[in-house]
Structure 1
Amino acid sequence: MSLYLYSIVRCLPDPRTGEFVNFGAIAGNPDIGDWSIRQLSKVDRIRKIAGASALEAAASFVFEVDAEIDQSRSGLDEGFDPLGEDWLLNKHRNHRNVVQLSMPAPILADSAEEALEIVFGHLIIDPIAEPREQSVTKYDLNRGLRQAYRQARVAEPFVRPRAQVHIGAHVHSTIDFAIANGRTVQLTQAWSFRRAQLDEVSQQVKAWAYAMERLRGGEEARVVDTQNRMSTITRNVDLQVVIATPTTPEQIVAYEEAEQVFAGLNADVHPLEDVEAVGRRAAQLVSELR
């Protein structure tokens, strides 16, 4: 478990009285940028107590913070710093009106979602909330990959997130991770099949596969990372795929289609639970570069 921070989001219909109702919570790890926010599943009681305008203010706050977290997650892959402890502390200090946040407090958890489960289970009463299907985001997968590379002691300069693979004159594809240092030895792509928008995943897999098929076909290619460092790449490059395994019938159908694509590309497929294998393979390939 790791140390996370949480803060409860409160709605105050009249800030002068100090009376409030809990609306939701924010939790996150400022060291790795794993943040999440959640509001109560049912707000009828809050609407009766606080009124429509206060409820709208609280909902708008949650929406804005959720957008900030999404933007930060995208930035992590491009080398930006994660949202830190000061970010949450400033939210607490700056919101002193209809929407207020409790003083950030520590909590032990394995993820932001788990921290929220603990907060909602012990500090925020949400008895009519329906069971939540445990979704896994692309961010979760990439975070696991980062940890796997660190655990395998792959040197940071070799780990190139969000690199571009250029094939031929017109085809290019963004890769989650390229392991390279003048020569590319591994490409890794993460796909979550444990999510709601399956059509989007299927389309992305097909677009990625088209580029990888051209690469496997032997067309001239190169890898360019976010710092414009270029590395060569060959058709036989080690290709790894990390997935969040499907759980529902619809997710299983989508994965089975993608599984055929992965097999055709001679890609090694690993569930998130086995992500360490990708790091170990990268470390082996990097050792051969030296």
Structure 2
Amino acid sequence: MSRYLYSIIRCLPDPQTGEFVNVGVIAGDPDTGDWAIRRLSNIERIRKFASQAALEVSDRFIARITGEIDDARAAAEADTGEPLGEAWLNRLCRDHRNTVQLSAPAPVLAGHAEAALELIFRSMMIDPAMQPRQETVSRNRAIQDLRDAYNRAEIPGSLLKPRVRVFVGERLHSPIDFAVANGTVVQLTQAWSFQVTVIDDLSTRVKAWGYAIERLRRGDAARLVDAQDSVSGVSSDVDLQIVVVPPKTAHQGIAYEEAQQVFSGLGAAVHTLDDVDAVPARAAALLAARKQRTAD
């Protein structure tokens, strides 16, 4: 369970009166960028209170924020952008003081953004038409589960390095979600979710990532650079762990089969979220073995 923030989206047909109707909720983890937004499904109740013009304003707002969340998620998964943080939600609350307003951000404990929305809708939103939603698990969720697993295994923070880059040869480089290193790299771990809409882009990223790691496996000179620009050596036989969110559709399944071939060729151990604790357990065993060899 992690600390999530949420804000209730309100529609005020006449902002001067201060009367409002709740129309939706935004919830997310500002550290990982795992955000979600949901609109109230009981539209008839909203129409009894808000005019069509006011309702269209709130709908446009929800559509725009949905796009921002989707764009930020895609950028984060492609390692080309930073996750939406707490400042983003605070700005939304500060800047919208007219027909659309947001409640002050408040914390809630949840495992992921959709679970936070479910909790808030059940306890705070009047929505009898609400139906259970099929959960789509993002790569951000897998990264958070990995971080929690490393914490449970008590891997020292000084050895656990998130969001690093591996440089191979003179030109190749690739992002890595986590590395465990104590001078030299003991373990590299990457998360992938195949429950995505733009599956072709994901396939391209997996293959590009796999090519860089393949060159490392062949023995090309490699180094790891962390967020503090510290450099660690990476050997060709470094332990490689993959955590995957399996596909749900046939189209996603094709991309997953291609990715499995890449993972197998790299000699990586592949786990689902149900088996995520095996990753830090392997790291702990490798660290203990290295410590023993040093003592001997």
Q: TM-score, normalised by structure 1?
A: 0.82
> Residue in 2 aligned with 1:210?
211
Q: Deviations over 1:79-130 (max 9, x none)?
A: x99945x876775566432112235556553322112123334544556677
1:174 corresponds to: 175
Partner of 2:251: 250
Residues 47-126 of structure 1: pairs in structure 2 closer than 5 A: 49-52=50-53, 55-56=56-57, 59-60=60-61, 63-64=64-65, 67=68, 74=76, 83=85, 92=93, 95-104=96-105, 107-121=108-122, 123-125=124-126
The 8 Å contact of residues 10 and 20 in structure 1, kept in 2 or not, is answered as: yes
Query: Partner residue of 1:17?
Result: 17
RMSD: 3.5
> Closer, same or farther in 2 for the Cα pair 1:12/1:177, shift >3 Å?
same
Hey, what's the Cα distance between the residues in 1 that align with 2:159 and 2:67?
32
Deviation string 1:32-82 (CA, Å, 9 cap, x unpaired) is 7754333346879868933446633663366358737976995xx99x999
SS of equivalent to 1:18:
coil
Moved more, 126-135 or 258-267: 126-135
Moved more, 59-68 or 128-137: 59-68
Counterpart of 1:133, as a letter, is Q
- Aligned-residue offset at 1:267: 0.4
Report whether the alignment pairs 1:138 with 2:139: yes
Secondary structure of 1:156's aligned partner: coil
Q: Give the aligned residue type for 2:139.
A: K
Which ranges of structure 2 fall in alignment gaps of 5 or more residues? 292-296
Please tell me whether the aligned partners of residues 35 and 69 of structure 2 are also in contact (alpha carbons under 8 angstroms).
no
Change (3 A) 1:71 1:251: closer
Structure 1 pair 125–173 and aligned structure 2 pair: CA distance change class (3 A):
same
Whether the 8 Å contact between 1:10 and 1:99 is mirrored in structure 2 is: yes
How many percent of aligned residue pairs carry the same amino acid? 50
Structure 2 Cα separation of the partners of residues 207 and 230 of structure 1? 22
Checking the alignment, whether the CA contact within 8 Å between 1:47 and 1:55 is kept in structure 2 is no
* Aligned 8 A contact 1:39 1:62 in 2: no
Partners of 1:160 and 1:178 within 8 A in 2: yes
Matched with 2:264 is 263
1:92 & 1:44 partners in 2: Cα distance? 26
Structure 1: runs of 5+ lacking an equivalent: none
- Count of residue correspondences: 287
Judging changes above 3 Å, is the alpha-carbon distance between structure 1 residues 185 and 202 closer, same or farther for their aligned structure 2 residues?
Answer: same
CA distance in 1, matches of 2:139, 2:10: 30
Kept in 1: contact 2:5–2:27 (CA 8 A):
yes
CA distance in 2, matches of 1:174, 1:2: 24
Does structure 1 retain, via aligned residues, the 8 Å contact 2:39–2:62?
no
Match in the other structure for 1:227: 228
In the aligned structure 2, how far is the partner of 1:170 from the partner of 1:207?
13
| TM-score between both structures, scaled by the size of structure 2 | 0.80
Q: Any conservation in 2 of the 1:162–1:177 contact (CA below 8 Å)?
A: yes
Residues 32 and 226 (structure 1), Cα distance of their counterparts in 2 relative to 1, 3 Å cut: closer
Aligned to 2:36: 36
Question: Aligned partner of 2:275: which letter?
Answer: D
Deviates more, 1:117-126 or 1:14-23: 117-126
2:294 matched to which residue of 1? none
Q: Tell whether the 8 Å contact from 1:12 to 1:50 is kept in structure 2 after alignment.
A: no
CA distance in 1, matches of 2:178, 2:143: 9
Name the CA shift for 1:93/1:213 in 2 (closer, same or farther; >3 Å): closer
